Structure 1
Amino acid sequence: MFTGIIEEKGQVVAIEPAGDSARMSVRGPLVTSDAAHGDSIAVNGVCLTVVDVDGDVFTVDVIRESLDRSSLGALQAGSPVNLERAVRADQRLGGHIVQGHVDGTAVVLSRESGERWDDLRFSLPPALARYVAEKGSIAIDGISLTVTTVDDDSFGVSLIPTTLQLTTMGGRQVGDVVNIEVDVIAKYVERLVVRQ
């Protein structure tokens, strides 16, 4: 489990296609400081399992499901990525419950700059629209954010200076594809209600 509070902005070192999967190496000095084989690290919001650590670079295997449901397949060497280690039981839950199980992708539709913050609008896949609520939580590329507006096919968020500086969201432009994970609690509530 993750919190959506990005620990550092890393960089893809290499991606090696392997048939229906890929092996990806990522530089992240902070997240590798205590990483070991089998640990979970979220890369742009996708929970991945560490298979090797070499200095400040960790390597993960990315299966077809993750490549198909996320934007990871479009990454290349040099791409910046958001990184977060799995939360420990004795830590604060600073953002919201993020599983690292990306529900799909969205596209940046617009970006408006304020004095110290930016407002971004994203497409909203129809299958996920019912899980997104104004003032609710959403993870975009692994970042825990609050939904400011929502309609049938799009939603908006506002980004504070810290988010703009310390995550990949500062460089996102109109047309960019991002990973989204809706609030898991909403999905479970719906499943419980529908089954009755």
Structure 2
Amino acid sequence: MFTGIIKEIGRVHELSRAGNLYKLAIQSKDIFKSVNIGDSVSVNGACLTVKEKKGDILSFDVVDETIRKTNLKTLKTKNLVNLEDSLKAGVPFSGHFVLGHIDCVGEIKDARRIGDDIAMDIAIPEEFIDLIVEKGSIAIDGISLTIGRIRENRFNVYLIPHTLEATTLGLQRRGDGLNIEFDIIGKYIARSSGLEKDDKITEEFLKAKGF
């Protein structure tokens, strides 16, 4: 379990095939100190298990499905990634509940500056658009963000200066793929409330279902 509050930007040391798995090695400073072998770490939003610690390098085994369903497959040596260690008891909670299970990869369609902020438009596969609601939470490359406007199969988010400095989103460009995890609460509501194919989770929908 994670919160979507990025603790550190790591640097890819290696991504290589290792038998039936991939080996992903990431250079880290702060997260390296806080985790042990067997602990979970969110890497661009994908939950991975620490296999090895050596020097300042964290190593993970990554299965084919995770590579296929996420943007980890595009990583190259020296690329930067968002890192977060798992939620611990007694630590103040910010962000929202993030499981580290990527639902799809979204594509940046536009990123425009508005003052010191950036408004980013992201397209997702149409079958997932019913799982988002304006002003709801979403995890993008592991970052807890608030959904702005929704239009067809697109939505936008606003990135404040701190987010741009503390995460990799300020480095992303039009056409880049972003790991998307929809809010688990929204997914439970859709399942338990019998969301039909053409329905969407809106404020009116939630009120009608007693939320």
TM-score scaled to structure 2, two decimals? Answer: 0.90
Query: Which residue of structure 2 aligns with residue 21 of structure 1?
Result: 21
Contact 1:10 1:82 in 2 (8 A): yes
Contact 1:41 1:84 in 2 (8 A): yes
Query: Which residue of structure 2 aligns with residue 110 of structure 1?
Result: 110
1:1-196 matched pairs, under 5 angstroms:
1-194=1-194
Q: What is the identity percentage for the equivalent residue pairs of Structure 1 and Structure 2?
A: 37
In structure 1, distance between residues paired with 2:46 and 2:191: 23
Contact 1:105 1:178 in 2 (8 A): yes
Unaligned runs of 5+ in 2: 196-211
Q: CA deviation at 1:20?
A: 4.1
Contact 1:46 1:100 in 2 (8 A): yes
In structure 1, distance between residues paired with 2:69 and 2:19: 17
RMSD: 1.2
- Stretches (4+) displaced over 4 A: none
Q: Secondary structure at the match of 2:31?
A: coil
In structure 2, distance between residues paired with 1:19 and 1:178: 27
Deviations 1:173-194 (CA, angstroms, capped at 9, x unpaired): 0010110000011111122223
Unaligned runs of 5+ in 1: none
Deviations 1:80-129 (CA, angstroms, capped at 9, x unpaired): 00000001021122100000000010000001112211000000211210
In structure 1, distance between residues paired with 2:181 and 2:172: 17
Aligned residues: 195
In structure 1, distance between residues paired with 2:76 and 2:20: 17
In structure 2, distance between residues paired with 1:96 and 1:34: 21
In structure 1, distance between residues paired with 2:188 and 2:106: 22
In structure 1, distance between residues paired with 2:73 and 2:20: 11
TM-score scaled to structure 1, two decimals? Answer: 0.96
